[in-house]
């Protein structure tokens, strides 16, 4: 390692990434990229936990698109390694070993598992063991810091507990990672219903629930202007409803202004003014990103070369860790 803090994080290539993925995760990866040693992954194996909605051709295309999204958002391949999870087989191998030491009760307690399992009738076992694959992603690279949105906090606690448990059982093998959650943008809520987290799955049949990173400026503005606020027609700092707080949180995550100061500026004013500022900030933030994304998607050879180079470097790190892990458990 270089002496700099090693960072690992990832996004699932299910659907098109939204403003929550960008503000909660990718924007903070970019913000600290220069001072850290970074590994960013497109977690396509995790996407298989919803096999009924995954079309193989779509998954393949979305995985590539997600690599282009990382780059367009400012991930610099000179400073960060970028790869697709399934291209490094050690993730699956380590996940199996970790499954064997993960207490079932720990997995059954995960709130994301419970919520997803409740929404669907039958679920695959992969949904239950999703956190052990996530732990494998992180532990494989001796990761010190994992920058994620707030919804991943419990999965990170699980990863830490599992690393400690494994180290106790087999001797010091894994680095125990820390979670990093941003101050603003850690939990972007739905624009059409600010009591639920902005999510790719809800956005499928509710067009104004989320801002997709690839929406047209017109669509972005429309979704924000239609966003839920409250029954009054002007902002009062003493009673900010979730929808209003959400809009202020989005603005704060983009321009760095504390929400208290945004609140003071809008006291006594109609919500339309706040929405207009938020819409403009979002469109301007994503304009250069979208231009770069389309340029990258038209350069297949560049993406292929970059992925091949990065994946070779990542594999070397994964192989070193696995040599240690196999020896620790006796399968070397
Ligand atoms: P995914 O694809 O569900 O989310 C990717 C990242 O986006 C963040 N996020 C949000 N942040 C703020 N507001 C929201 N509404 C919102 N929705 C999503 C998530 O917190 C996450 O940081 N399980 C991970 C993927 C993963 C991973 C890993 C992450 C697999 N292995 C190893 C870190 C390290 C996930 O949530 O994907």
Beta partners for 11?
42
- How remote is the CA of residue 151 from the centroid of ligand 1, in Å? 7
- Backbone torsions φ then ψ of 10, nearest 5 degrees: -160, 165
> Is the shortest distance between the CB of 210 and ligand 1 below 6 Å?
no
Ligand 1, atom 19: closest residue by C-alpha:
149
- How remote is the CA of residue 148 from the centroid of ligand 1, in Å? 6
> Is the shortest distance between the CB of 11 and ligand 1 below 6 Å?
yes
CA–CA gap between residue 101 and residue 120 (Å, rounded):
27
Mean pLDDT of 148-165: 98
Place of tokens 């125990």: 176
- Sequence spans of domains, the chain: 5-186+300-329, 200-293
CATH class of the domain whose range is 200-293: mainly alpha
**Where does the pLDDT of residue 16 fall: very low under 50, low under 70, confident under 90, or very high at 90 and above?**
confident
CA–CA gap between residue 207 and residue 202 (Å, rounded):
9
Which of residues 234 and 29 earns the better pLDDT score? 29
> Is the shortest distance between the CB of 213 and ligand 1 below 6 Å?
no
**Where does the pLDDT of residue 183 fall: very low under 50, low under 70, confident under 90, or very high at 90 and above?**
very high
Supply the mean pLDDT for the chain. Answer: 94
Pocket of ligand 1, candidates 8, 13, 24: which has the most ligand atoms within 8 Å of its Cβ, to mutate? 24
Contacts of 210 (CB under 8 A, 6+ apart): 18, 19, 20, 190, 191, 198, 199, 200, 202, 203, 223
* pLDDT score, position 227: 95
Picking from 309, 308, 307, 9, the residue whose alpha carbon sits closest to that of residue 156 is 9
Ligand 1, atom 16: closest residue by C-alpha:
20
* pLDDT score, position 239: 66
Strand ranges, E, within 6-124 = 6-11, 37-42, 80-84
Whether 137 contacts 87, CB under 8 Å: no
Give pLDDT tens digits for 238-266: 667 899 999 999 999 999 999 999 989 98
* pLDDT score, position 302: 96
* pLDDT score, position 98: 98
Picking from 126, 124, 125, 132, the residue whose alpha carbon sits closest to that of residue 103 is 132
DSSP result, 213-244: TTS-HHHHHHHHHT----SSSB--GGG--HHH
Contacts of 96 (CB under 8 A, 6+ apart): none
Q: Is residue 60's pLDDT more than 90?
A: yes
State the CATH architecture for 5-186+300-329.
Answer: 3-Layer(aba) Sandwich (3.40)
> Is the shortest distance between the CB of 219 and ligand 1 below 6 Å?
no
pTM recorded for the entire structure = 0.96
> Is the shortest distance between the CB of 153 and ligand 1 below 6 Å?
no
* pLDDT score, position 238: 66
CA–CA gap between residue 51 and residue 5 (Å, rounded):
35
Catalytic residue flag (residue 200)? yes
* pLDDT score, position 44: 97
Catalytic residue flag (residue 197)? yes
* pLDDT score, position 234: 74
- Backbone torsions φ then ψ of 209, nearest 5 degrees: -80, -45
- How remote is the CA of residue 150 from the centroid of ligand 1, in Å? 8
Picking from 305, 313, 319, 286, the residue whose alpha carbon sits closest to that of residue 67 is 305
Beta partners for 81?
39
* pLDDT score, position 65: 96
* pLDDT score, position 21: 98
Residue 242 is encoded by which pair of tokens? 């979730």
User: Which one is catalytic: 27, 79, 153, 200?
Assistant: 200
**Where does the pLDDT of residue 1 fall: very low under 50, low under 70, confident under 90, or very high at 90 and above?**
low
The answer to whether domain 5-186+300-329 and domain 200-293 are alike in fold is: no
Q: Is residue 149's pLDDT more than 70?
A: yes
Catalytic residue flag (residue 116)? yes
* pLDDT score, position 15: 84
> Is the shortest distance between the CB of 151 and ligand 1 below 6 Å?
yes
**104 in helix, strand or coil?**
helix
Give pLDDT tens digits for 108-139: 999 999 998 888 878 899 999 999 999 999 99
């Amino acid at each position: 390692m270089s002496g700099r803090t090693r960072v690992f994080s990832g996004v699932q290539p299910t659907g098109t990434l939204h403003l929550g993925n960008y503000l909660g995760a990718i924007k903070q990866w970019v913000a600290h990229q220069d001072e850290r040693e970074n590994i960013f992954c497109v977690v396509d194996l995790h996407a298989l936990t919803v096999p009924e909605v995954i079309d193989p051709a779509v998954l393949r295309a979305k995985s590539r698109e997600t690599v282009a999204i990382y780059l367009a958002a400012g991930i610099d391949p000179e400073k960060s390694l970028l790869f697709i999870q399934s291209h490094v087989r050690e993730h699956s191998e380590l996940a199996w070993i970790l499954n064997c030491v993960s207490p079932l009760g720990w997995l059954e307690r995960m709130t994301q598992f419970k919520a997803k399992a409740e929404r669907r009738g039958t679920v695959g076992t992969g949904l239950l063991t999703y956190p052990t694959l996530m732990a494998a992603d992180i532990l494989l690279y001796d990761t010190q810091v994992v920058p994620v949105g707030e919804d991943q906090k419990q999965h990170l606690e699980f990863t830490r507990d599992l690393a400690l448990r494994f180290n106790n059982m087999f001797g010091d093998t894994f680095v125990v990672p820390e979670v990093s959650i941003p101050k603003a943008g850690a939990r972007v809520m739905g624009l059409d219903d600010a009591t639920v987290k902005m999510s790719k799955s809800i956005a499928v049949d509710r067009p104004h629930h989320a801002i997709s990173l690839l929406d047209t400026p017109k669509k972005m503005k429309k979704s924000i202007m239609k966003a839920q606020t409250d029954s009054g027609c002007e902002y009062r700092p003493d009673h900010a409803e979730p929808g209003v707080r959400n809009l202020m949180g989005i603005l704060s995550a983009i321009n760095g202004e504390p929400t208290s100061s945004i609140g003071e500026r809008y006291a006594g004013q109609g919500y339309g003014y706040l929405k207009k500022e938020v819409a403009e900030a979002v469109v301007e933030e994503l304009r250069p990103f979208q231009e770069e994304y389309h340029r990258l998607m038209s350069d297949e050879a560049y993406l292929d070369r970059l992925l091949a180079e990065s994946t070779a470097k990542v594999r070397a790190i994964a192989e070193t860790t696995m040599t240690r892990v196999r020896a620790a458990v006796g399968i070397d």
